[in-house]
Structure 1
Amino acid sequence: MDATVMARPVTTERLVLRLFTADDLDDMHAYQGLPEVARFLYRPPRDRGRCAEVIERIGKGTSWKEDGDNLTLAVCRRDVPGVIGEVQVTLSSAYARQAEIGWVFHPDHGGRGYATEAALALRDLAFQQLGVHRLFARIDADNTASERLCERLSMRREAHLIENDRDDRGWGSEYVYAVLAREVGSAGTE
């Protein structure tokens, strides 16, 4: 996949998933700058300058060929302008067709199913268009909302990593969730 493939946004019943543009800076900073959002990402909140740098990089899309290639999509409601969050998939092993999925949303949009709807669309894109065999998520063990989201994506918990990461609050633990393409009816990509 390259940026030209993503020229056409992915749409769901209520959402549009598309590449970020420079016009999305204020919206991204509105959630990426929040300490309660950064808490589960093991990094400090992003300032506007860092958000601009990130948008510059991710707005170009990806070639989806090499380990580390990443596709990050802005999540927008179809009925209201603005970005409410983002979903991303990162190629962790091109050879083994393994990819990591993740999401970050503004807390003001929580509890409405937007994260689930967007993550399901990205999961399906990863399996059906990007040729991913195994999709996994690494989540903070205290992030119960992401834990439930993984389960809604038909992922199973495969590991509990104890005190495997550290931030300014101390040690944190993670869960690893995963699902195979054939487990969600995407066997055509196998």
Structure 2
Amino acid sequence: MVPVRLTGPRLAIREFHHTPGDIDALYAVFGDPVATRHLPFGPYDRESCADQVAQYLEEALRDERTVYRLAVTLRADGTDSADPADGGAPIGSAALTLGEHRSAVLGYALRPDTWGHGYAGEITGLLCDLAFGTLGVHRLAARVDVDNTASSRVLTRAGFQLEGRIRHDLHLRDTWYDSFQYSLLADEWAGAGTGAGQRAGG
């Protein structure tokens, strides 16, 4: 396993640790009905979040790693970490799932009290750099609940193109939900000429 560590102007993205602090932090996101309102699952209980962190570590240790589920932290908050660059307790999670033909799917979730500060844009930029740079992805996709206008704006600002609406893409809590599908290609990201630091205002 080669641990992932990404740093932006305000955020650090790292591997999850199977510690009470990281489990509690994930529960603060995945256990919150508001935070999971536009996600395809949840809310989870704390035990389920502990199981999720264990699964993330198993995925990270695979010889052919195809799933990157990572902790999003504030760089200024090093109180829970010996290394301030680690960012302390997570405020959310970020994910890349690799597919066939050099494709990947991007996702993220943040604690509601951190919304509205442009963190989602910074996460998206850092994940794009990881996908198109280190991982050699050609096509990056993201699906968004049609009512999640904030995430749609984040993706659009990062250069993602709306491909269409997927009808009844998700069945959750006895309700069918539609999704918007967005995509970004490697040459579109590189052609922008800016890195994650310049894309952090989303």
The TM-score range, normalised by the shorter chain, is 0.7 to 0.9
2: CA distance, partners of 1:18 / 1:110: 20
Aligned-residue CA RMSD (Å): 1.8
Map of 1:14 onto structure 2: 10
From the superposition, tell whether residues 138 and 180 of structure 1 become closer, same or farther in structure 2 (CA, over 3 Å). Answer: same
Conserved? CA contact 2:15–2:70, under 8 Å: yes
1:5 Cα deviation from its structure 2 partner:
4.7
Percent of paired sites with the same residue: 35
Give unpaired runs (5+ residues) of structure 1: none
Map of 1:126 onto structure 2: 131
How many residue pairs get matched?
Answer: 179
1:73 Cα deviation from its structure 2 partner:
1.2
1:42 is aligned, of 40, 44, 55, to 40
2:147 is aligned, of 142, 151, 159, to 142
Map of 2:55 onto structure 1: 57
From the superposition, tell whether residues 152 and 62 of structure 1 become closer, same or farther in structure 2 (CA, over 3 Å). Answer: farther
- The equivalences for 1:88-103 within 5 A come to 88-93=95-100, 96-103=101-108
Q: Provide the TM-score with structure 2 as the length reference.
A: 0.83
Structure 1 residue ranges (4+ consecutive) displaced by more than 6 angstroms after TM superposition: none
Map of 1:158 onto structure 2: 163
1:141 Cα deviation from its structure 2 partner:
0.6
Q: Provide the TM-score with structure 1 as the length reference.
A: 0.88
1: CA distance, partners of 2:62 / 2:131: 14
Map of 2:195 onto structure 1: none
SS in 2 for 1:149: helix
Give unpaired runs (5+ residues) of structure 2: 78-87, 193-202
> C-alpha deviations, 1:38-95, integer Å up to 9, x for none?
22122221111111111112135255847xx2101101001123211111100121xx
